Structure 1
Amino acid sequence: MATNVFIPRVESLANSGLDEIPPEYVRLESERDDHLGDAIEEEKKSDEGPQIPTIDIKGLDSDDEAVRKLCVEQMLDAAVNWGVMHIVGHGIPAELIDKLREVGTRFFDLPVEEKEKYANDQPSGMIQGYGSKLANSASGRLEWMDYFFHLMFPENQTDLSIWPHYPSDYVEVTKEFGKELRVMATKIFTLLSLGLGLPAEKLEAEAGGMENILFQMKINYYPKCPQPNLALGVEAHTDVSHLTFIFHNNVPGLQVYYDGKWVTAKNVPDSIIVHIGDSLEILSNGLFKSVLHRGLVNKEKVRISWTIFAEPHKDNVLLRPLPELVTDASPPKFGPRTFAQHVRQKLFKIKEEESPAAAK
């Protein structure tokens, strides 16, 4: 694959020995708050503040009704008040997660010129592959991050020709992880559905079911940065997905916006971070919170994160508040739209025609 637009690889910049980042990576003054800084230092400073909740979802399978009820209540509270949580007891073998980390890291250990063979072509719409983000119209700034992006699941819709051919076990490991994550996703949907007072299977079915929920994986590579107080690995945003799953190489960097300030995620062993995204916020009629978040960088260590977006099919699923959650006291906060329409509204700031609520 080749790109017609030159996009500098952040890895190459970081390895060039520069002491100052190029001006196009320097964040706007409005973004440089008290919590924009070196991710490692910010994590240390966050010890005394609020912490992202941790939920053990093994409780869903307990024979004890009180344990099951507590698990549902904890999930509901996190989805409503935080929009993000650390999930433990998820059932995905630690050995498989380690293997996924290993194959992704080995790919990014390749020389940049080898990774360029997988380069995507964003202007033409070829977004799968190796890339670096183009300037965003909102800020005009670049992010201190390279990435590899591809559809992970379901298998019958993936294009293996786009996946890395090195290391040789990348495909096998990634396929297996996708299957395991799909099982975990059903558990999350079940807990959230029960929390809303709906049948266990209701929310996942409305989200698209097994056939229409796609898992898109983005491996983010954040090189060491000489001026982490001026840069962002990922600028502040909410995800368009139903759910987003994140794990990393134990280097901090994720910040979420909670109670009027940025909270740096701590490293919780054996956990997977789960975000609520826009699509699930719409289905819940705003009860669930699509969390605003961003990614910091640091001077000392390369950070790699694996982010998997559980998204509805772009056209086959209608996103609108579930009728069971709409009342006279709680009218619909969002107009109906397909996923493709929602993405267009968000990217181009198009106002909704069906509802007075502005597109997120």
Structure 2
Amino acid sequence: MELKTVQAIAFSSMSAGIIPPEFIRSEKEQPAITTFHGYIPQVPTIDLSDPDEEKLTRLIVEASSEWGMFQIVNHGIPSDVISNLQKVGKEFFELPQEEKELYAKSPDSKSIQGYGSKLQKEVEGKKAWVDHLFHNIWPPPAIDYQFWPKKPPTYRAANEEYAKWLQGVADKLFGRLSLGLGLGEGTLKESVGGDELLYLLKINYYPPCPRPDLALGVVAHTDMSAITILIPNEVQGLQVFRDDHWFDVKYISNALVIHVGDQLEILSNGKYKAVLHRTTVNKEKTRMSWPVFLEPPSDQVVGPLPQLVNEENPARYKTKKYSDYVYCKLNKIPQ
């Protein structure tokens, strides 16, 4: 099964200096027109090792309420664990096409896991300038190793090591966010599945684009997850929408970028805001990122937490199974 990958399109487009029309965004989306170039407010950066727990909780709550996004430093994941994850991901995307296609998802697959380019319905048939690889990295019963590349040979070890360290970061974030709602530290994690919470890794590969002024790597969206924890490479590309403008998110070496996702907004009944973000591309360099989506199991029912709902503050979101939420979101059906 031959895939029409963006990587292949990029290779054939560079010499001509043009991109196929399906990648050209409308004027209201084109980065050259819509990116703000004046004073750029910075997404909050939070030191996760701060011993002042009340202050740490306050900073995380403020960032999640006002921005829906923040970066964390001193998070405890060793830098070599992160660099190894990036190294094996990069090596996978540099393999010959036929090797990568061994991990392609079949067109009729209901699972999101696998290698490819197509993800969800795009308005007006437009396409995003990105290839990707999806697979679960935690918990063990959710892992399907047929989607884990066997080349490079250290791929599995690097991903398993990262998953091990990431759980501590996730638990700390869920704990602070629960306390910020006046709830017990374990409330939010339990509400999204507890030990069955899924860690879904996506590797985004954005090859050089001859017209980065016209294309987008990923279109404007909020994540379906509860929380997303993302590692970018050093190539600028992540943008956040705030105050009616698109702003670049500054790259910080060894920081993790945290996105509030839809499920956290729903559970908090709107106190925490799912962040609207997108990705631009680069003319000379390949951008890559490694988001991990912390998602409820498909049959987990998610809605505003009862402790946060009353007559003065009625439920602002429907309660539904996560699988139903995903179906509506991917097919652009109102929730």
1:187 aligns with 2:172: yes
1:272 is aligned with what amino acid? L
2:9 is aligned with what amino acid? L
Q: Is the 8 A contact 2:260 2:272 kept in 1?
A: yes
Shift of 1:36: 4.5
CA distance in 2, matches of 1:146, 1:349: 21
Q: Is the 8 A contact 1:72 1:195 kept in 2?
A: yes
Residues 147 and 247 of structure 1: CA distance in aligned 2, closer, same or farther (over 3 Å): same
Q: Kindly provide the CA deviation profile for residues 313-359 of structure 1, in whole angstroms up to 9, marking residues without a partner as x.
A: 010x21111111112221000121010111122233444xxxxxxx2
Residues 134 and 81 of structure 1: CA distance in aligned 2, closer, same or farther (over 3 Å): closer
1:85 aligns with 2:70: yes
CA distance in 2, matches of 1:179, 1:306: 15
1:51 aligns to what? 42
Q: Is the 8 A contact 1:218 1:308 kept in 2?
A: yes
2:291 aligns to what? 307
Secondary structure class of the residue paired with 1:161:
helix
Secondary structure class of the residue paired with 2:123:
coil
Q: Is the 8 A contact 1:35 1:262 kept in 2?
A: no
1:166 aligns to what? 151
Residues 126 and 74 of structure 1: CA distance in aligned 2, closer, same or farther (over 3 Å): closer
How does 1:290-301 map onto structure 2 within 5 Å?
290-301=274-285
CA distance in 1, matches of 2:33, 2:53: 37
Query: Which of the numbers 160, 164, 167 marks the counterpart of 1:175?
Result: 160
1:318 aligns with 2:301: yes
Q: Which runs of 5+ in 1 are unaligned?
A: 352-358
Q: Kindly provide the CA deviation profile for residues 239-272 of structure 1, in whole angstroms up to 9, marking residues without a partner as x.
A: 1000111112211111111121111110112200
Shift of 1:119: 1.5
Query: Which of the numbers 8, 15, 21 marks the counterpart of 2:11?
Result: 15
Shift of 1:151: 0.9
CA distance in 1, matches of 2:285, 2:301: 42
1:127 aligns with 2:118: no
Q: Is the 8 A contact 1:103 1:170 kept in 2?
A: yes
Q: Is the 8 A contact 2:174 2:189 kept in 1?
A: yes
Per the normalisation by structure 1, the TM-score is 0.88
1:70 aligns to what? 55
Q: How many residues align?
A: 333
1:242 aligns to what? 226
Shift of 1:35: 5.3
Q: Kindly provide the CA deviation profile for residues 32-85 of structure 1, in whole angstroms up to 9, marking residues without a partner as x.
A: 365557xxxx8xx46x311100011112xx2xxxx2111111100000010000
1:147 aligns with 2:132: yes
Q: RMSD over aligned Cα, in angstroms?
A: 1.7
Secondary structure class of the residue paired with 1:29:
coil
Q: Is the 8 A contact 2:3 2:101 kept in 1?
A: no
Q: Which runs of 4+ in 1 moved over 4 A?
A: 33-37
CA distance in 2, matches of 1:52, 1:146: 27
CA distance in 1, matches of 2:215, 2:127: 9
Q: Is the 8 A contact 1:257 1:263 kept in 2?
A: yes
Q: Is the 8 A contact 1:130 1:149 kept in 2?
A: yes
1:275 is aligned with what amino acid? H
1:231 aligns with 2:231: no
1:142 is aligned with what amino acid? K
Query: Which of the numbers 204, 208, 214 marks the counterpart of 2:198?
Result: 214
2:246 aligns to what? 262
Secondary structure class of the residue paired with 2:92:
helix
Shift of 1:141: 0.4
Secondary structure class of the residue paired with 2:125:
coil
1:31 aligns to what? 29
Q: Kindly provide the CA deviation profile for residues 112-155 of structure 1, in whole angstroms up to 9, marking residues without a partner as x.
A: 22212222124332432210126734241011011111111112
CA distance in 1, matches of 2:136, 2:34: 31
1:31 is aligned with what amino acid? E
Query: Which of the numbers 247, 268, 279 marks the counterpart of 2:263?
Result: 279
CA distance in 2, matches of 1:254, 1:152: 23
2:324 aligns to what? 341
Per the normalisation by structure 2, the TM-score is 0.95
Q: Is the 8 A contact 1:318 1:338 kept in 2?
A: yes
- Which stretch of structure 1 is more off in the superposition, 97-106 or 24-33? 24-33
1:330 aligns to what? 313
1:269 is aligned with what amino acid? S
Residues 287 and 135 of structure 1: CA distance in aligned 2, closer, same or farther (over 3 Å): closer
CA distance in 2, matches of 1:122, 1:195: 43
CA distance in 2, matches of 1:144, 1:279: 27
Residues 161 and 135 of structure 1: CA distance in aligned 2, closer, same or farther (over 3 Å): closer
CA distance in 1, matches of 2:197, 2:153: 27
Q: Which runs of 5+ in 2 are unaligned?
A: none
Shift of 1:14: 1.3
**What percent identity do the matched residue pairs reach?**
43
